[in-house]
Chain A
Amino acid sequence: MSDASITDIAQAEQGTSLWHDAWLRLRRNRLALFGLGILVLFITIALLTPWIAPYGYAEQNLDLGASGPSAAHWLGTDIFGRDLLTQIMYGGRISLAVGFIATAVALLIGVTWGAVAGYVGGRVDAVMMRLVDILYALPFMIFIVLLMVVFGRNLLLLFLAIGAVEWLTMARIMRSQVQTLRQQEFVEAAVSLGLSPSTIIRRHVIPNALGPIIVYTTLTIPSVMLLEAFLSFLGLGIQPPQTSWGLLISYGAETMEEYPWLLLFPGLALTLTLFSLNFLGDGLRDALDVRGSRD
C-alpha cells in the first residue's frame, strides 16, 4: 500500500472522526447550543464595543441623572446619567477578558505541569504532584484577597493570581490522561522512532488528551469570572475608571432601592454568561464522552 492511499483512507475516515461525532452530539443538546449562541453573541459584542456602544464610556449626563429604561437609554442610566448598556458592554469586555485570559494562564501551566509529571513519572512525578497536593490544600480565596491587598489592585496581577490558582485541577486531569496515554502503542512507536520526550508530549500526548481539557477549560472560565466579580464586588478587584460586571453589581446593590435596574441588568448579564458556559461545558462533557460511556 502506498503512502497516498493511506492518506486517502485517513481523509475518508475524517467524516466520522471524534470531533465530528462530538459536534453531532452537541448539536442535539439544545441547552448547550443556546449557551454557545449566547457566548458567541456576547464575545462579538465585547470585541466590537468601542464601535457599537450607543454612548461613549465616560459620557455623563448629570441633568438626566438616574433614569429607567427608555428609548434613548435601553437599559436606563446611573446616577451620573451614564448609559447602563454602554457600561455593561465595557464591563463585559473586562469580565470576559479576565475569564478567558486567566483560564489561558491556568491552561498553560496546568497542561505543561501535568504532562511532564505524567510522562516522566517516577520521583519527578511524585515531587511535582505532592506540590500540587499542598497547593490544593491552601485556602486560595483568602490568598487572592491577600495578594490584591499587598500588591495593589492591578488587572495583570489579577489574571496571574487567578490563573496561578486554577491550574491545579488542570494539572491533575492532564497527568492522569498522560499516564493512560503513554502506555498506548502509538507512543511506544514514537519512542522507538527516537522522538524526543518534548516532541512526543506536544505531538502525540496533548492532542489525544484534548477532550477532558476542553471540557474542564469551559467549566473553569465561569468560576474565574465569578472570582473576579466576587473580588470586584468587595472593592478588591477591578478599580474605577475601569469597570466590570462585578463592580456594576456592587454599585447597583448600593442604590437598588431607588434604581433596581442598576442591579438587575448587570446581574442578568453575568448570570446569563455563567449559565451559558456551564451548559456548554456540561454539553461538551457529554458530547466528548469524557466521564466514560454515556449508556
Chain B
Amino acid sequence: MWRFIAYRLLQAIPVILAVITVTFFLVRVAPGGPFDSEKAVVPEVKAALEAQYRLDQPLLTQYAAYLGDLAQGELGPSFKYPGRSVNELIAAGLPVTAELGLYALLVAMIIGGVAGIIASLKPNTAQDYLPMSAAMIGICMPSFLLGPLLVLVFGIYLDWLPVSGWGDIPGDKILPAITLGSTYAAYIARLSRAGMLEVMTQDYIRTARAKGLPEWQVVTRHALRGGLIPVVAFLGPAFAGLLSGSFVVETIFQIPGLGRFYVQAAFNRDYTMILGTTVFLSTLIVLFNLLSDILAAWMNPRLRTQFSEH
C-alpha cells in the first residue's frame, strides 16, 4: 500500500510541474501585454509597472522567479485589481466553491448511489429502467441548461426558492447544489449499477446468501464495498468536473466563488490571476485524483497486489 502511495505521489509531481510550466509560458506568449489596453499610460509608468511585475526581465528569469514564489505559496499579484493578490482572491472564493462542491457531491452521491443500487437489485425491470432513464436525462442535460430551467420553474413560476446569491436568503444554496450535482448523480447511478451488477454474481455473494443472510444484509454488508469501487475511482474525475462546472453554476446563480473569479479573469485577460488560479486549481485536481486512486486501492486489495507484482 505504501509503495502504491509513494509511486502515485511521484507520478503527480511531473504533472504539477508540467501544468505550471505550460500555463506560465502560454500566458506569457499571449498576444497583447497586460498593460497594452490602458490607453494613456506614460512610458515611464508602463516601465515601472512592468518592472514591478518583472516583465522587463528575460522570460527564463521570470519563470525561475515565479517558481520561487510558488515554492513559498505566493501565487502572484492581480493585474486588474491593483493591491489584491491571487492568494487573497482564492482565499475569498475557495470556501464558497468548496461548500458548493461539497453539497453538489452529496446530492450526486446520495441520489446517484441510491438510484444505481435500487436499479441493480432488479435488472431489466421497471425498477431498473426508470432510474436509468432519469440518469440518461441527467447526462444529456448540461448544467447550463438545467440551471436556467430550474430557476425558471422553481424560482420564477412557482416562486419557491431564491434564484441567486449564496447564503443571503435561506434556501438559496439548494438550486445551485442540485444544478451542479445532477450530472454526477447520473454518472454515479450508472457506475454503481454496473458495479453492483458485477459484484452480485460473485461467489462470496452466493456464499452470503447460502448461509441464510437476508437480502438487504447481503447488499449492505457484502456487496456494497466491492460494488462501489468504480464510484470511488470516479470521484477524482468528478471533482475536476465539479470545479469546472462551478464556472457555469456560479455564473448563473451569481455566487462569489472561485469559478466566477476564474471566468471573470478570463474575460478581463487578467493574466496573473489566470496563471495563479490555473496552477492552484490544477494542483487541487491532481491531488484529488491521487486521493481517489488511493482510496480505490484501499477498497480493492487486488489493485494493490497487481501493482506490487510489477
Interface residues of A (CB under 8 A from B): 133-134, 137-139, 141-143, 145-152, 222, 226, 229-230, 233-236, 246, 249-250, 252-253, 256-257, 260, 263, 267, 270-271, 274-275, 278-279
Stretch at the interface among B53-61, B214-222, B262-270: B262-270
Stretch at the interface among B12-20, B94-102, B167-175, B300-308: B12-20
* Residue B213 interfacial (CB < 8 Å): no
Q: Which of B18, B152, B278 contacts A142 (CB 8 A)?
A: B278
Closest CB-CB distance, B75 to chain A, in whole Å? 15
In Å, the complex CA distance between A249 and B149 comes to 11
* Residue B114 interfacial (CB < 8 Å): no
Contacting residues, chain A, for B251 (C-beta < 8 A): 234
A232 nearest in chain B by CB position:
B144
Q: Which of B12, B19, B26, B149 contacts A263 (CB 8 A)?
A: B149
Q: Quick check: A229 and B282 within 8 Å, CB to CB?
A: no
In Å, the complex CA distance between A252 and B145 comes to 10
Given known pairs A149-B269, A152-B31, the reply for A249 and B15 (CB within 8 Å) is no
Q: Quick check: A253 and B266 within 8 Å, CB to CB?
A: no
Q: Give 13 pairs: A residue, B residue, CB < 8 Å, sorted on A.
A: A134-B18, A141-B240, A141-B244, A150-B26, A230-B142, A234-B251, A235-B267, A250-B144, A263-B148, A267-B145, A267-B149, A270-B145, A278-B140
In Å, the complex CA distance between A16 and B220 comes to 45
Closest CB-CB distance, A274 to chain B, in whole Å? 4
Grouping DSSP codes into helix (H, G, I), strand (E, B) and loop, the B interface class, with mixed when no group exceeds half, is helix
Closest CB-CB distance, B309 to chain A, in whole Å? 17
Q: How many interface residues does B have (CB within 8 Å)?
A: 47
Q: Quick check: A278 and B247 within 8 Å, CB to CB?
A: no
Closest CB-CB distance, B94 to chain A, in whole Å? 15
Q: Quick check: B15 and A134 within 8 Å, CB to CB?
A: yes
Contacting residues, chain B, for A267 (C-beta < 8 A): 145, 149
In Å, the complex CA distance between A145 and B259 comes to 12
Q: Which of A142, A253, A279 contacts B144 (CB 8 A)?
A: A253
Grouping DSSP codes into helix (H, G, I), strand (E, B) and loop, the A interface class, with mixed when no group exceeds half, is helix
Q: Which of B148, B240, B262, B281 has the most CB of A within 10 A?
A: B148
In Å, the complex CA distance between A253 and B253 comes to 12
Given known pairs A137-B12, A137-B15, A139-B282, the reply for A274 and B144 (CB within 8 Å) is no
Contacting residues, chain B, for A275 (C-beta < 8 A): 136-137, 140
Closest CB-CB distance, A229 to chain B, in whole Å? 6
- Given A145-B247, A263-B148, A275-B136, list of 10 further CB < 8 A pairs? A137-B286, A141-B240, A142-B243, A143-B278, A149-B274, A151-B30, A249-B144, A253-B252, A263-B145, A274-B139
Q: Quick check: B274 and A271 within 8 Å, CB to CB?
A: no
* Residue B62 interfacial (CB < 8 Å): no
5 shortest interchain CB distances as A-B pairs:
A141-B244, A253-B148, A274-B140, A150-B30, A233-B144
Given known pairs A133-B11, A137-B12, the reply for A252 and B240 (CB within 8 Å) is no
Q: Which of A150, A229, A275 has the most CB of B within 10 A?
A: A150
